[in-house]
Amino acid sequence: MQRKEKHALFWGAGQLAIMAGGIIWFGGAGLIPLELQLYLCALCLTVGMAGYWSGTQFFIGKLRAYHVRWMLPVILTLSGFFYYLWHLNNAWLPPGSAAALGLVMLWGGSRLVSVNNRYRWLGLTLMLRGGFNLFSAASLSPDLYKVWFVGTSILKVLTMLGLIYAVQDEIQQRYARTIDSLSHGFLIRDRRGYIHVANERCAKLLGFNSAQELIGLHVCDLLPGLTREMADHYFFRFEADGAEYPIADTAIFKLRNGNHLPVELLGSPYVERGRLYCLVQLLDISERKKKDDLLYQAARVDPVTGYCNRHALSVRLTEEVKKAAAVGRECAVLFIDLDKFKRVNDSFGHAAGDELLRNAADSLHHLLRPTDVLARFGGDEFIIVIADLAPNSAEQMAIDCADAVIAAMAKGFELSYHAISVTASVGIACYPHHGADSDTLIRNADIAMYAAKKAGRGERRVFNDAMNAVAKNALAIDGALRDAIEANEFYLVYQAITNAHTGKLTKVEALLRWNSPLLGPMPPDRFIPVAEDSGMIIALGTWVLEQACRQVGLWKHSVLDDVTISINVSAWQLADPGFVTLVSQALIRNGLSPHQLELELTERVLIEDAANVQTVLAQLRALGVGISLDDFGTGYSSLSYLTQFHLNTLKIDRAFVMDIEHSERSNSLVHAIIAMGHSLGLQLVAEGVETAGQAAILEKMGCHYLQGYHISRPILADDLLHFAGDRAAPQAQPDFVI
């Protein structure tokens, strides 16, 4: 029994004692000795009075520990007193008992009435009983005991009802206070959806003024978006076999006032008088939702552009593929890479780079329909998903979109401090032709983008299987390249470049070789492009520069004492801000004079980032290092480069040299290049000289240096030393014929 219900125990005990006294007095006559009968009746009366008194004290919260301690001595004393009185005249027993009890009841009733409204009814009935008892004691003759008995019985029933009402009301108040003090909403609904109980918090959450307003309403009256079917379905879940409670749900409620409320619902079953109810707790999760939304944003939105990030793209593309598969439609993935973006970052700083990305993303977004997806995939890479396309239309739609993308990028962007134009390379992969899932489509679009980039800037390519083979190959090379420097898998070979007139070996070109334990001997024209794509060419080029300079240092005081070494330099290396320092340190460390080093660049390197290259080349020239233009004639062959970049040497590509003996056109072309080189004061090296005839013609045309298999294949450093030694000997005159 709870602490609060002990009054019932006291009152009950008191009433029982009084009934026992009555039975002893009226029924015990002749059965037990009179003196004992009198004392037992006195004891029952005092226990009864004590029960009513302590029950009342307890009910109004005034029963103290010392009351309980003194209870027994008081009962014994008072019962002794009554026994003494009735021993004098036992006719005083019934009226005396009624009067004593009446006094206690009057006192108790008045206390209850004065203390709390809720106990008023109980108090009044007790007072009535008390008054009736006093009145009976004073006026009733034994003949009217029956009337007295009926009267007290009726009053006892009334007291009982008063007690039930008071206790029930108290329990209800306690229950109401408890649920109102809950920080979350609370309601009890029945099977049909009608609300029986709700707390104030629930009313406030749902936009009502008080909990009372909710009672009797149907849950559908609270939430405009809720249908009877939904409400029924919610209830059915409580009856389902194996249901685990509480049943938790989250939902966004549309309230009557138009607001939206994100809530968590915790539903538990509740049985009252054999009926199943649903007890629902409503937790306002607006704050939690805000945090979740922020986390969601962070997890799905690219912080620079505000569009989807890689993760969100994967989710959206997976959805689009699923949708397309379900209805036999298509979709397309465009992988877009901004050419030259790294240069923007390096030259103007990351703030400008970010601004460019934002601008580029916005212009891409303008090209799309609301159903399409734009995501920043990483660095300067964007992906567009064109969703929901008719069968056999995806490829053409993607091509049109790619053209629009390229055109939009080519328009250029007005950034805060700079106007920048970029080009974009676009790779296309379509569902279902080029992949059946998100990862495959993205990978294949990337492969196609790579092919577009290879074809030149501002190109687009649609994926095909041949591209895949190339990409797989590149992937294998890329993987093997990663640890190849540390594993010492690279070495250099040197190819002699001789004076066309005297045959003297004055220059050598250092050429990189890779003997991969995994892939076997790997020609540079296969692994250099992969290293360039991954950026590994910077580490590789640094290694070549150091090795080549170290080798020339080792050749000091030999027949190759004053030889000039040429090394190939890629665009990445030139864009590296530390490159000039790297070169000058390599020269100093290995004791080389700057003129002993010549850097070979291709025309492509020059045009990639003309402004930056010009600055770097000027610094290198100032250092005294030679600059040579490799493969001249195969690319743009622009005369303006020759003057603009202050080159020292022009290397005529072997494609012209190889036909020089038989093709009038090649012959005239080489002739023209040599004449032009002369007029610009450039040194001329003919590459790929394979025959004595070619050497003779070139020498006659005025070409200064010759390089090719006719003179020597690229060979190891020691072999080159022997080769040079042989060549320096007086008998080793050049064997070509003029």
Ligand X SMILES: Nc1nc2c(ncn2[C@@H]2O[C@H](COP(=O)(O)O[C@H]3[C@@H](O)[C@H](n4cnc5c(=O)[nH]c(N)nc54)O[C@@H]3COP(=O)(O)O)[C@@H](O)[C@H]2O)c(=O)[nH]1
Other beta carbons within 10 Å of 192: 11
Instruction: Please report how close the Cβ of residue 455 comes to ligand X at its closest, in angstroms.
Output: 18
Q: Identify whether the C-beta of residue 668 lies closer than 8 Å to the C-beta of residue 657.
A: no
Pick the stretch among 143-151, 285-293, 464-472, 505-513 that binds ligand X (CB under 6 A).
505-513
Residues in contact with ligand X, shown as a per-residue x/- string from 696 to 725 under the rule CB under 6 A: -----------xxx----x-----------
- Separate counts of helices (H) and strands (E) for the chain: 28, 21
Is 664 a binding residue for ligand X by CB under 6 A? The answer is no
Member of 398, 448, 544, 627 binding ligand X (CB under 6 A): 544
Any idea which residue has 């194996």 for tokens?
Answer: 242
- Compute the distance between CA of residue 192 and CA of residue 221 in angstroms, rounded to an integer: 13
> Could you give the count of Cα atoms lying within 13 Å of 227 in the half-sphere of its Cβ?
3
Member of 278, 512, 522, 605 binding ligand X (CB under 6 A): 512
Is 523 a binding residue for ligand X by CB under 6 A? The answer is yes
Mark 25-39 as b/e (b = at least 16 C-beta within 10 Å): beeeeeeeeeeebbb
Instruction: Please report how close the Cβ of residue 428 comes to ligand X at its closest, in angstroms.
Output: 30
Residues in contact with ligand X, shown as a per-residue x/- string from 11 to 30 under the rule CB under 6 A: --------------------
Pick 381 or 532: Cβ nearer ligand X: 532
Pick 359 or 707: Cβ nearer ligand X: 707
Q: Identify whether the C-beta of residue 698 lies closer than 8 Å to the C-beta of residue 670.
A: yes
Instruction: Please report how close the Cβ of residue 544 comes to ligand X at its closest, in angstroms.
Output: 4
Pick 385 or 660: Cβ nearer ligand X: 660
Q: Identify whether the C-beta of residue 573 lies closer than 8 Å to the C-beta of residue 586.
A: no
Pick 136 or 649: Cβ nearer ligand X: 649
Pick 322 or 482: Cβ nearer ligand X: 482
Any idea which residue has 């007290």 for tokens?
Answer: 152
Is 590 a binding residue for ligand X by CB under 6 A? The answer is no
Residue 505 burial by Cβ neighbours in a 10 Å radius (0-12, 13-18, 19+): buried
Contacts 24+ apart (CB under 8 A), 399-408: 399/428, 399/460, 399/462, 401/332, 401/334, 401/367, 402/334, 402/426, 402/428, 402/460, 403/460, 404/367, 405/334, 405/336, 405/364, 405/367, 406/458, 406/459, 406/460, 408/363, 408/364, 408/366, 408/367
Residue 523 burial by Cβ neighbours in a 10 Å radius (0-12, 13-18, 19+): exposed
Instruction: Please report how close the Cβ of residue 599 comes to ligand X at its closest, in angstroms.
Output: 10
Pick 544 or 580: Cβ nearer ligand X: 544
Tokens representing residue 531 in the block: 């290293």
Within residues 298-337, the interface with ligand X by CB under 6 A covers none
Instruction: Please report how close the Cβ of residue 509 comes to ligand X at its closest, in angstroms.
Output: 6
Pick 159 or 590: Cβ nearer ligand X: 590
Pick the stretch among 70-78, 263-271, 277-285, 519-527 that binds ligand X (CB under 6 A).
519-527
Is 654 a binding residue for ligand X by CB under 6 A? The answer is yes
Instruction: Please report how close the Cβ of residue 422 comes to ligand X at its closest, in angstroms.
Output: 25
Within residues 552-571, the interface with ligand X by CB under 6 A covers 567-568, 570
Instruction: Please report how close the Cβ of residue 470 comes to ligand X at its closest, in angstroms.
Output: 17
Mark 704-726 as b/e (b = at least 16 C-beta within 10 Å): bbbbbebbbebbebeebbebbee
CA-based nearest residue to 426, from 389, 451, 397: 451
Is 508 a binding residue for ligand X by CB under 6 A? The answer is no
Instruction: Please report how close the Cβ of residue 486 comes to ligand X at its closest, in angstroms.
Output: 18
Instruction: Please report how close the Cβ of residue 717 comes to ligand X at its closest, in angstroms.
Output: 14
Residues in contact with ligand X, shown as a per-residue x/- string from 623 to 642 under the rule CB under 6 A: -------xx-----------
| Angle between helices 6-27 and 34-59 in degrees, nearest 10 | 160
Cis preceding linkage at 432, omega within 30? yes
Instruction: Please report how close the Cβ of residue 709 comes to ligand X at its closest, in angstroms.
Output: 4
- Compute the distance between CA of residue 100 and CA of residue 643 in angstroms, rounded to an integer: 131
Is 528 a binding residue for ligand X by CB under 6 A? The answer is yes
Instruction: Please report how close the Cβ of residue 299 comes to ligand X at its closest, in angstroms.
Output: 41
Is 525 a binding residue for ligand X by CB under 6 A? The answer is yes
Pick 175 or 491: Cβ nearer ligand X: 491
- Compute the distance between CA of residue 576 and CA of residue 591 in angstroms, rounded to an integer: 24
Any idea which residue has 């460019």 for tokens?
Answer: 356
CA angle 480, 446, 359 (to 5 degrees): 125
Q: Euclidean distance between the first and final Cα of the chain, in Å?
A: 126
> Could you give the count of Cα atoms lying within 13 Å of 349 in the half-sphere of its Cβ?
6
Instruction: Please report how close the Cβ of residue 490 comes to ligand X at its closest, in angstroms.
Output: 9
Is 354 a binding residue for ligand X by CB under 6 A? The answer is no
Member of 131, 524, 529, 594 binding ligand X (CB under 6 A): 524
Within residues 47-106, the interface with ligand X by CB under 6 A covers none
Within residues 670-699, the interface with ligand X by CB under 6 A covers 687-690
Amino acid at 222: L
Within residues 482-501, the interface with ligand X by CB under 6 A covers 495
Q: Where are the alpha helices (DSSP H) in 329-415?
A: 341-348, 350-366, 394-410
Pick the stretch among 288-296, 305-313, 394-402, 517-525 that binds ligand X (CB under 6 A).
517-525
Instruction: Please report how close the Cβ of residue 611 comes to ligand X at its closest, in angstroms.
Output: 22
Instruction: Please report how close the Cβ of residue 529 comes to ligand X at its closest, in angstroms.
Output: 9
Residues near ligand X (CB under 6 A) are 495, 509, 511-512, 523-525, 528, 541, 544, 567-568, 570, 600, 630-631, 654, 687-690, 707-709, 714
